[in-house]
Amino acid sequence: MEIYLPIAEMSVHWLVILGMGGAIGFLSGLFGVGGGFLLTPLLIFYGIPSVVAVATTSSHVTASSISGAIAQWRKRALDIKMGLVMAAGGLAGTTFGVWLFAWMRRQGQMDLVVSASYVILLGTVGTLMLRESLATLRAARSGRPASGQRSSHHSWIHGLPLKTRFRESRLYISVIPPVVIGFIVGTLSAIMGIGGGFVIVPAMIYILRMPTNVVMGTSLFQIIIVAAATTVLQATTNYSVDIVLAALLIIGGVIGAQFGVQVGARLRGEQLRLLLALLVLAVGIRLLFGLVLPPDDLYTLALSP
Amino acid sequence: MRAIAAITAILLAAAPAAATENLVAGLSQDTVEITSNYTGTDIVVFGAIEQAEAGGNDVVVVLRGPDADMIVRKKDSVAGIWINRDQARLYGMPSYYYIASSKPLAKIADHDALQRYAIGLSNLAPERISSHHDPKPFIAALVRHEQQAGLYGESATGVEFLSPTLFRAHVPVPASVPRGQYNAEVYLFRGGTIMSAQSTPLFIDQTGLERRLFEAAHSSPLLYGLSTVLMGILMGWLSSVVFRRNA
């Protein structure tokens, strides 16, 4: 059965959208990422106008992160204080990002900037995660204990002021790094239409050195706040949130997320990171092809703003 | 307004010849309502030629959507990466254009006449162009893109004659059409010139729940955005309650 979307002004098959939401929700529950970096390109590929796809994805990210976060909260795998500190930076970042988004659209280079940021980000993050998880897996197989992850070596981070204690993360560090990471991810999420989990998760593990078990819950928690704010911001500035599309994606997403959390509980942390790394790299390589291969049609069409 | 002006101009030009000719045309419906299960429809444009001379009559039917302003950008390879370089702003191109004729346009009138009347996909021209480059390839690219999107189309056999004087054409209105006032234009050709023309408006709009949601998104966007977020939060929470019971 086809359903008409009032804001996208087109009709879609509800099962296709429900399935997309479910698949992305599953990954969201599995890896603790919002899944926006997959959903936005998927929706655009299906024919949803990119402005609507970007804006509506953030409402889907909110919902699928909620059910994931509640599941993690029950396992006490969530650092609320850390989440709030990062979200404060994130909200400032989103506001800046929405402004930047509008400016780049006027310059006509939006597509290039979005694709290039995806390629650089996904490529870097994916490669780092792949190397790390492979090294950990190899170490585990050869019988040696995986070491180095929680080594409390003193980096520049420990020299920063405004130190505070994050109890659930068993950290005593400055609030500056989490706020800055939140700001950067918030900016990226407004430009790229993503929650930013695939940046936050590695940043928490490698820069903040948070224990892996609280990383999932905390990243989901901060994504909820930023994605909810982005949805409202997109609705008030671009009128581009499609509530019917959002409802379909969310129904699929929340169900998928529950299965994702259950499967994720049975896999080991480094296995999860290996899978996420491969997924992130695959999307990055696909987008890189789009930038360097000659396009089918040199001309593109857009409504004049 | 523009379409009506064009038709008036054509009629004035054709007036002496068209004195004895009379064209009557109508639509199967004067409004198309987009509802939640709208997947596109067909409207029927029908009509009759009164006091027709035997043979030699050709009919062209055009459905034209509200005007839109578009930007067409051309990609260029710079240091191995394809980026947007040249661009053209085309003002006042139709957002929807479908043309049906009783035989191929080239056999109805010569190229110059069609261009003068601005009839046919290859003769669409914007009201105003803002570009530093030759606009022709940009206009052609726009037409190509809109054809792929199903918003521009043509059928060289779309107008069928049921009798020497009665004709009928099916015009598709796909689900992706923009809302607004459309004009169904009917042209009667003989010997390569327009003898008579008629324009009938068609309104395409959302109704029911779709209409209310669309209006809410524009009239109270903050409330609309907050409702969307609240819906997401409720659904997320609900699912974790349901799944906890089952687990």
pLDDT exceeds cutoff 80 at A193: no
pLDDT exceeds cutoff 90 at A98: no
A301, B210: Cβ pair inside 8 Å?
no
Residues B185 and B140 in one domain: yes
Mean pLDDT (chain A, rounded): 82
Q: Residue A111 domain-assigned?
A: yes
User: Average pLDDT, stretch B220-231?
Assistant: 93
Give contacts of B36 with chain A, Cβ < 8 Å: 3-4, 244
User: Average pLDDT, stretch A141-163?
Assistant: 62
Residues B184 and B221 in one domain: no
Residues B58 and B158 in one domain: yes
Sheet containing A299-303: give its strands across: A299-303, B67-78, B81-94, B128-131
Residues B245 and B143 in one domain: no
pLDDT exceeds cutoff 80 at A64: no
Query: Testing the interface with A: which of B71, B77, B228 to mutate, by most A Cβ within 10 A?
Result: B228
> For the ranges A179-188, A205-214, B23-32, which has the lowest average pLDDT?
A205-214
Higher per-residue confidence, A267 vs B61: B61
Q: Residue A189 domain-assigned?
A: yes
pLDDT exceeds cutoff 80 at A147: no
User: Average pLDDT, stretch A215-222?
Assistant: 86
Residues B180 and B228 in one domain: no
Q: Which domain holds residue A122?
A: 2-142+157-292
Token pair belonging to B14? 């054709």
pLDDT exceeds cutoff 70 at A142: yes
Number of domains observed in the structure of chain B: 2
Determine the Cα–Cα distance for residues A179 and A226; give it in Å rounded to an integer: 13
Query: Testing the interface with B: which of A239, A297, A298 to mutate, by most B Cβ within 10 A?
Result: A298
User: Average pLDDT, stretch A70-87?
Assistant: 86
Higher per-residue confidence, A269 vs A22: A22
Query: Residue B112: helix, strand or coil by DSSP?
Result: helix
Residue A155 confidence (pLDDT): 65
* Cβ within 8 Å of residue A159, ≥6 positions away: none
pLDDT exceeds cutoff 50 at A28: yes
Residues B125 and B228 in one domain: no
B113, amino acid identity: A
> For the ranges A101-110, A170-179, B114-123, B211-220, which has the lowest average pLDDT?
A101-110
Torsion angle in degrees (nearest 10) through CA of A160, A161, A164, A166: -20
pLDDT digits (tens, 9 = 90+) for B164-213: 889 999 999 988 888 899 999 999 998 888 988 999 999 998 888 888 88
Residues B18 and B49 in one domain: yes
Residues B112 and B160 in one domain: yes
B38, A301: Cβ pair inside 8 Å?
no
Q: How confident is the model at residue A126 (pLDDT cuts 50, 70, 90)?
A: confident
User: Average pLDDT, stretch A51-62?
Assistant: 85
Number of domains observed in the structure of chain A: 1
H-run or E-run covering A3: strand A2-5
Residue B20 confidence (pLDDT): 47
Q: Residue A230 domain-assigned?
A: yes
Residues B154 and B228 in one domain: no
Residue A198 confidence (pLDDT): 75
Token pair belonging to B140? 């052609």
pLDDT exceeds cutoff 70 at A199: yes
A11, B175: Cβ pair inside 8 Å?
yes
Query: Hey, which bits of chain B come out as E strands?
Result: 22-27, 31-34, 41-50, 57-64, 67-78, 81-94, 97-101, 128-131, 152-155, 159-161, 166-173, 180-190, 193-206
pLDDT digits (tens, 9 = 90+) for B112-121: 999 988 899 9
Looking at CA atoms only, how far is residue A265 from chain B in angstroms? 14
Of B38, B145, B221, Cβ closest to residue A239: B221
Of B35, B80, B237, Cβ closest to residue A4: B35
Query: Testing the interface with A: which of B36, B69, B214, B239 to mutate, by most A Cβ within 10 A?
Result: B239
Q: Residue A249 domain-assigned?
A: yes
Higher per-residue confidence, B222 vs A68: B222
> For the ranges A98-107, A219-228, B143-152, B217-226, which has the lowest average pLDDT?
A98-107
> For the ranges A45-49, A103-107, A118-122, A239-243, which has the lowest average pLDDT?
A103-107
Residue A148 confidence (pLDDT): 47
Torsion angle in degrees (nearest 10) through CA of B107, B111, B114, B118: 140
Q: Residue A151 domain-assigned?
A: no
Torsion angle in degrees (nearest 10) through CA of A103, A105, A109, A111: 130
Looking at CA atoms only, how far is residue B181 from chain A in angstroms? 16
Query: Residue B39: helix, strand or coil by DSSP?
Result: coil
Q: Residue A25 domain-assigned?
A: yes
Q: Closest-CA residue in chain A for B37?
A: A3
Looking at CA atoms only, how far is residue A215 from chain B in angstroms? 20
Residue B45 confidence (pLDDT): 94
User: Average pLDDT, stretch B211-226?
Assistant: 90
> For the ranges A79-88, A135-144, B78-87, B165-174, which has the lowest average pLDDT?
A135-144
Residues B199 and B218 in one domain: no
A241, B228: Cβ pair inside 8 Å?
yes
Token pair belonging to A79? 């650092």
Q: What percent of chain B has pLDDT over 70?
A: 88
pLDDT exceeds cutoff 50 at B247: no
Looking at CA atoms only, how far is residue A163 from chain B in angstroms? 33
> For the ranges A142-146, A198-202, B86-90, B195-199, which has the lowest average pLDDT?
A142-146
Q: Which domain holds residue B219?
A: 207-247
Q: Flag whether the pTM goes above 0.95.
A: no
Residues B58 and B88 in one domain: yes
pLDDT digits (tens, 9 = 90+) for A241-265: 999 999 999 999 888 878 887 888 8
Determine the Cα–Cα distance for residues B182 and B129; give it in Å rounded to an integer: 23
Q: Residue A104 domain-assigned?
A: yes
Higher per-residue confidence, B91 vs A126: B91
Looking at CA atoms only, how far is residue B33 from chain A in angstroms? 12
Token pair belonging to B139? 């206009």
Residue A150 confidence (pLDDT): 46
pLDDT exceeds cutoff 90 at B146: yes
User: Average pLDDT, stretch A259-282?
Assistant: 83
User: Average pLDDT, stretch B153-160?
Assistant: 92
Mean pLDDT (chain B, rounded): 85
Q: Residue A150 domain-assigned?
A: no
A2, B39: Cβ pair inside 8 Å?
yes
A11, B226: Cβ pair inside 8 Å?
no
Determine the Cα–Cα distance for residues A266 and A29; give it in Å rounded to an integer: 12
Higher per-residue confidence, A130 vs A304: A130
Determine the Cα–Cα distance for residues A190 and A182; give it in Å rounded to an integer: 12
Of A9, A262, A291, Cβ closest to residue B82: A291
CATH number for B148: 2.60.40.1930
A301, B145: Cβ pair inside 8 Å?
yes
Residue B8 confidence (pLDDT): 56
A292, B239: Cβ pair inside 8 Å?
no
> For the ranges A133-142, B65-74, B223-232, which has the lowest average pLDDT?
A133-142
Residues B53 and B101 in one domain: yes
Question: Could you give the ipTM of this predicted complex?
Answer: 0.79
